[in-house]
Amino acid sequence: MNLLEHALATWMPAQRWFPGDRIGGDVTVIADTLLAAGDPELRHLIVSVRSGRPAGPPAGPPPARYQVLAGFRRQMPAELAHAVIGTDQRGKTVYDGLHDSELTTVLLRAIAGERADGPLVFTREPDVAIDLTARSLVLSVEQSNTSLVFGDSAILKVFRRLFAGPNPDLEITSALARLGSSDIARPLGSVSSRLDGEPVLLAVLSEFQRGACDGWQLALTSLRDLYARATDRAAEAGGDFAGEAHRLGAATARVHADLARAFGTQTLNPEELAGLAGQMTLKLKEASAEVPALATFADKIATAYAALAEITEPVTVQRIHGDYHLGQVLRSRSGWVLLDFEGEPLVPLDRRRDLAPALRDVAGLLRSFDYAARHLLVGHPDASRLSGTALEWVARNSAAFCEGYAEEHGSDPRDQAILLRALMLDKAVYEVMYEARHRPSWQDIPLDAIAGL
Amino acid sequence: MATAPDKPTPPMPTPPPLTGFAGPAATPVPDPFSFDQPRDPEWFKRAVFYEVLVRGFHDSNNDGTGDLRGLMSRLDYLQWLGIDCLWLLPIYASPLRDGGYDISDFTTVLPEFGNVGDFVELVDEAHKRGIRVIADLVINHTSDAHPWFQASRSDPDGPFGDFYVWSDEDTGYPDARIIFVDTEQSNWTFDQVRGQYYWHRFFSHQPDLNYDNPKVQDAILEVLRFWLDLGIDGFRLDAVPYLYEREGTNCENLKETHEYLRRIRSEVDRQYPDRVLLAEANQWPTDVVEYFGDRVLGGDECHMAFHFPLMPRIFMAVRREQRYPISEIMAQTPEIPSGCQWGIFLRNHDELTLEMVTDDERDYMYSEYARDPRMKANIGIRRRLAPLLDNDRNQLELFTALLLSLPGSPVIYYGDEIGMGDNIWLGDRDGVRTPMQWTPDRNAGFSRCDPARLYLPLIMDPMYGYQAINVEAQENNNGSLLFWTRRMIEIRKRHPVFGLGRYEELSSSNPSVLAFVREHPDPGNSQEAADRILCVNNLSRFPQPVELDLRRFKGITPIECMGGVRFPPIGDLTYLLTLPGHGFYWFQLPPVQER
């Protein structure tokens, strides 16, 4: 490893977007593209990181690839001190260039000008205007990507870990934008390259929702108010969320209708329906083996899946959001906007475009209401007194969401009770496994939900 | 800064000097308000208004009813508070079946209040203290006791026969809604004397004038000239959307109404510059902007109009602990012509108007703010600010800070500056019209009459009664709501950008925090134009952190307006602030110092 790679090997594990806290193996820069020469200089790096096993066959898991936009300066201004990565072979300071608004403007200009730099291709969506004078700011709230806001009109999401293959998010938002949807953030442009002989999306520029905040934060505002109040009736609390839930249901239904228009629908035949139930059952078995507490409910859940396989009325499938929860929606000044159509993160990219019942998204959001209400009670001194209040909040907002969905869609999700229940159980089973691995103290959230479903 | 030679010695205690970043002292500038020389045609954009009920402010002749001379004796208090303009509720001769909005003689003062001479003296005394005076004027209708109506009903062919809207049928204009749904069944009422129906948008004893009659148009202009010649600084024109009626419409906001308002405005501009017309049009902002008139001309109808929907939205946002009710209505508020200004208020003499919110939200506001059905009236809630907020000082301060910092000229309702209460057991809207509480003495210092003669009983409950809540107690206490309000008004007046600047909401990740910047659209080079204020408000009762995107102001050191404390300079990262429950900050953002 050269000096730069050594610096990266120390810096990367300290970043929020990096899974784990250390690197056992090699760090290699496998692609290096100069985007702006001079001082400061901007280079686009793709960095390959091997896990700790010894190199050479038999190989461990394939190396993970990360994207770093590296800035280089001889003199570092104080306000960039927090972004320093280290020193390179030339004696220049290397730093995370995304924090330097002097350098990020290069990316904006490249997209606006549809530039191509080596393997990097910058694309602008047709008929969009990009404000080139806007300075960028790194949003500090993200887990797996880094987002820059330019002025108050555009946001550039820069992926950190790269996955080769077509990206469903850009495909879906472009298609919905063409249909004139106002329920999504319109894409303005993108940056892509190739990795392992396949296309890879590096960054997406889209419309920024000024003054917006995510649904999870807004729901917590409502819940904090409810829990701190003498009343235990969600409808009477000042921070009632039902109006928002109703509008969110309607926005969700509109996006589903647009997705159906843009990508078509199919009807599951009995074998496919049984296949769907079969997949769920498989997941259940895997989870029950891992989490003993789930085993008590296994029969109940299996019965619900069996009922799904027996449904006689047609089940329609279509492109869906795939990873839908309150953190994926933004409340803007005019209403709700849906974000991040990348699909279920654990599913391989090429499977994320599979068709699924739209109710999978509905189930995801209803589970999210449950999470929002219950996670605040983990370790809460009044948890037992408030649990009924929490359930009432969930029921009230789930009903409002479904009513809003029904008003826009024509049919109420609750009318497909067997399907919805199976999808919610499937989601909860996944959650149990996730919590058992990562947050054992939260495991009761999905387990309680399964008991109640 | 000019000092008037005849400035009276204020009987109020001299306020202690401000500590920290005080800037120039905000002594009101006495102003001759010359008729020939308009010195400040945009005064109303920076002014702090004070809505005063003459009947309820101070009684000079001990008959139990407040009067113009009583108000005059309290002008020093208003000057001390920092008020720029008084808005008087109707002062005209009236049978008082609708709080004076039923005028029976446009050019006579209600005898209980005094006479025209008293009014002229009041205006002169106010002007000496740098305070202007505007008054309510109802031009849509009169009382049925008005001589015009009496002549019209008894002599259909006489000179006043067509002064009102008469019909043989009660079926005309069926699309016009009935405004006072609690008391009126129809907008038509049969008159036994004339044997015809007459049109009225409000109470049946308030017949609408017939503006299709040119003589009515001229007569009302004559009324305006009468008061303008006496020195009044403007009018709040009551119920302006309803002047004309046309079949097949809802009879609101018709183009003929706008034409007549333009005629009034051109008359005012020609003969009485420096005066202001304030439209009372309880409509959505997109419709209300029509009352400002032509944008290209900078506005050629009313100078000001009330922003009605904002007020219930402020209440809702704080109750919901999130900013969207306010953000949405601000986003839906169109730009107004350059010569115009919104009037904004938290409470006024009417009920908390809920016509402007959706049915769901109205039910919610009822359940939140009016647990007792007697607190509701028509489509609103009849309460004063302090009881609406459970007398919570933090919320009172937050609401007042919003009133003084959101775009528009603030209107303070008399008594709200000391946190007066209401009496929900009084009829109609009288619950919020009780006597001003000056002292803990008999009749609250309002009148020396026998308490039984008071026009309305004083508030006497333990929390809001005059023994607890009164001006005297609060003006001697630096920690009082009154002192605090005065201080905030002073800060507002030190920064004209609050009145003149544009409003830009800032993005923040915390939905409970409403943050915005007030700044001049074109900063230029002058010191005043470079003024800029950042306001950050926590709408939740819990402490909140917020990260603000302030890149635009990189390098600037925010200065907190109350204490003058310098905060850390704004850098490339988001700016982190923490706010206590219902807390707020006002920061001055001075221009970057050249190094």
Confidence bin at B24 (pLDDT 50/70/90)? very low
Q: One of B42, B67, B136, B238 is an active-site residue; which one?
A: B238
Q: Which of A79, A100, A133, A137 to mutate to test the interface with B (most CBs of B within 10 A)?
A: A137
φ/ψ of B376, rounded to 5, equals -95, 145
- How many CA atoms, within 13 angstroms, populate the side-chain half-sphere of residue B162? 9
For B511, the closest of A79, A99, A213 (CB atoms) is: A213
Q: Are B549 and A238 a contacting pair at CB < 8 A?
A: no
Residue B490 appears among annotated catalytic residues: no
Confidence bin at B15 (pLDDT 50/70/90)? very low
Q: pLDDT tens for residues B80-130?
A: 999 999 999 999 999 999 889 999 999 999 999 999 999 999 999 999 999
- A25 by Cβ neighbours in 10 Å (0-12 / 13-18 / 19+) ranks as middle
Nearest to B540 by CA among B506, B589, B578, B500: B578
Q: Are B360 and A149 a contacting pair at CB < 8 A?
A: no
* Chain B interface includes A289 (CB < 8 A): no
Q: Which residues on A lie below 8 Å from B368 (Cβ)?
A: 238
* Chain B interface includes A153 (CB < 8 A): no
pLDDT of residue B339: 92
E strands of A37-115, at which residues? 41-49, 64-73, 84-87, 93-96
Residue with tokens 């001003």: B436
Q: Are B549 and A149 a contacting pair at CB < 8 A?
A: yes
For B505, the closest of A99, A138, A211 (CB atoms) is: A211
Q: Which residues on B lie below 8 Å from A82 (Cβ)?
A: 573
Q: Are B511 and A149 a contacting pair at CB < 8 A?
A: no
For A243, the closest of B321, B360, B367 (CB atoms) is: B360
pLDDT of residue A94: 96
* Chain A interface includes B366 (CB < 8 A): no
Q: In this structure, what is the dihedral angle of CA atoms A420, A422, A423, A425, given to the nearest 10 degrees?
A: 120
- Total beta-carbon pairs less than 8 A apart between chain A and chain B: 83
Q: What angle do CA B509, B310, B424 make, to 5 degrees?
A: 120
Amino acid type, A410: G
Q: Which residues contact B203 (CB under 8 A, 6 or more apart)?
A: B97, B98, B102, B180, B183, B184
pLDDT of residue B13: 41
Q: Are A333 and B368 a contacting pair at CB < 8 A?
A: no
* Chain B interface includes A228 (CB < 8 A): yes
Tally DSSP H helices, then E strands, for chain A.
Answer: 12, 18
pLDDT of residue B293: 93
For A224, the closest of B367, B542, B571 (CB atoms) is: B542
Q: Which residues on A lie below 8 Å from B361 (Cβ)?
A: 243
Nearest to A191 by CA among A157, A161, A153: A157
- Give the β-pairing of B502-505 and B166-167: unpaired
- For the cut 70, the answer to whether the pLDDT of residue B359 exceeds it is no
φ/ψ of B122, rounded to 5, equals -60, -45
pLDDT of residue A188: 96
* Chain A interface includes B364 (CB < 8 A): yes
Taking the C-alpha atoms of residue B360 and residue A238, their distance in angstroms, rounded to an integer, is: 13
Confidence bin at B64 (pLDDT 50/70/90)? very high
For A135, the closest of B331, B505, B551 (CB atoms) is: B551
pLDDT of residue B593: 63
Q: One of B59, B280, B300, B301 is an active-site residue; which one?
A: B280
Nearest to B580 by CA among B537, B550, B547, B549: B537
Amino acid type, A273: L
Closest chain A residue to B361, measured at CA: A243
Q: Which residues contact A205 (CB under 8 A, 6 or more apart)?
A: A108, A111, A130, A154, A155, A156, A157, A187, A188, A189, A190
* Chain A interface includes B322 (CB < 8 A): yes
Q: pLDDT tens for residues B218-252?
A: 999 999 999 999 999 999 998 899 999 999 999 99
Closest chain A residue to B318, measured at CA: A238
Instruction: Specify whether the CB–CB gap between B117 and B155 falls below 8 A.
Output: no
For B510, the closest of A135, A152, A213 (CB atoms) is: A213
Confidence bin at B352 (pLDDT 50/70/90)? low
pLDDT of residue A60: 61
Instruction: Specify whether the CB–CB gap between A443 and A436 falls below 8 A.
Output: yes
Instruction: Specify whether the CB–CB gap between A73 and A40 falls below 8 A.
Output: yes
From first to last of its 453 residues, what are the pLDDT tens digits of chain A?
A: 789 999 999 999 988 888 877 777 789 999 999 999 999 999 999 999 987 655 445 556 778 899 999 999 999 998 899 899 999 989 999 999 999 999 999 999 999 999 999 999 999 998 888 999 888 888 865 677 899 999 888 999 999 999 888 889 999 999 999 999 999 999 999 999 999 889 999 999 999 988 788 899 999 999 988 888 766 566 666 678 888 999 999 999 999 999 999 999 999 999 999 999 999 999 999 999 999 999 999 999 999 999 999 998 899 999 999 999 999 999 988 889 999 898 887 778 878 889 999 999 999 999 999 999 999 998 888 888 889 999 999 999 999 999 999 999 999 999 999 999 999 999 999 999 999 988 898 999 999 999 998
Amino acid type, B587: F
* Chain A interface includes B578 (CB < 8 A): no
pLDDT of residue B28: 43
Q: Chain A neighbours among B 524-553 (CB < 8 Å)?
A: 540-542, 547, 549, 551
* Chain B interface includes A81 (CB < 8 A): no
* Chain A interface includes B7 (CB < 8 A): no
Q: Chain A neighbours among B 439-458 (CB < 8 Å)?
A: none
Q: Which residues on A lie below 8 Å from B571 (Cβ)?
A: 79
Q: Are A333 and B327 a contacting pair at CB < 8 A?
A: yes
Q: Are B572 and A79 a contacting pair at CB < 8 A?
A: yes
Q: Which residues on A lie below 8 Å from B516 (Cβ)?
A: none
Q: Are A239 and B320 a contacting pair at CB < 8 A?
A: yes
Confidence bin at B179 (pLDDT 50/70/90)? confident
Closest chain A residue to B547, measured at CA: A140
pLDDT of residue A270: 92
Instruction: Specify whether the CB–CB gap between B435 and B456 falls below 8 A.
Output: yes
The whole-angstrom distance between B573's CA and the closest CA on chain A is: 7
Task: Report chain A's C-alpha Rg in angstroms.
Answer: 24
Starting at the earlier edge strand, list the strands of the sheet with A329-331.
A213-214, A329-331, A336-338
Taking the C-alpha atoms of residue B408 and residue B424, their distance in angstroms, rounded to an integer, is: 30
The whole-angstrom distance between A47's CA and the closest CA on chain B is: 26
Residue with tokens 């898991």: A61
Helix pair A270-290, A298-309: axis angle to 10 deg: 170
Q: Which residues on A lie below 8 Å from B509 (Cβ)?
A: 141, 213-214, 217
Residue B144 appears among annotated catalytic residues: no
Instruction: Specify whether the CB–CB gap between B237 and B211 falls below 8 A.
Output: no
For A217, the closest of B507, B511, B571 (CB atoms) is: B511
Residue with tokens 């953030």: A185
Least reliable range by pLDDT among B62-76, B141-155, B468-482, B511-525: B511-525
Taking the C-alpha atoms of residue B21 and residue B462, their distance in angstroms, rounded to an integer, is: 38
Q: Are B549 and A101 a contacting pair at CB < 8 A?
A: no
Q: ipTM of this model? A: 0.74
- For the cut 80, the answer to whether the pLDDT of residue B199 exceeds it is yes
- Helices assigned H by DSSP within B232-343: 255-271, 285-288, 310-320, 324-331
Q: pLDDT tens for residues B525-571?
A: 666 667 899 999 999 999 999 999 888 898 999 999 999 999 999 98
φ/ψ of A158, rounded to 5, equals -105, 115
- Over residues B380-394, the mean pLDDT reads 86
- For the cut 60, the answer to whether the pLDDT of residue B16 exceeds it is no
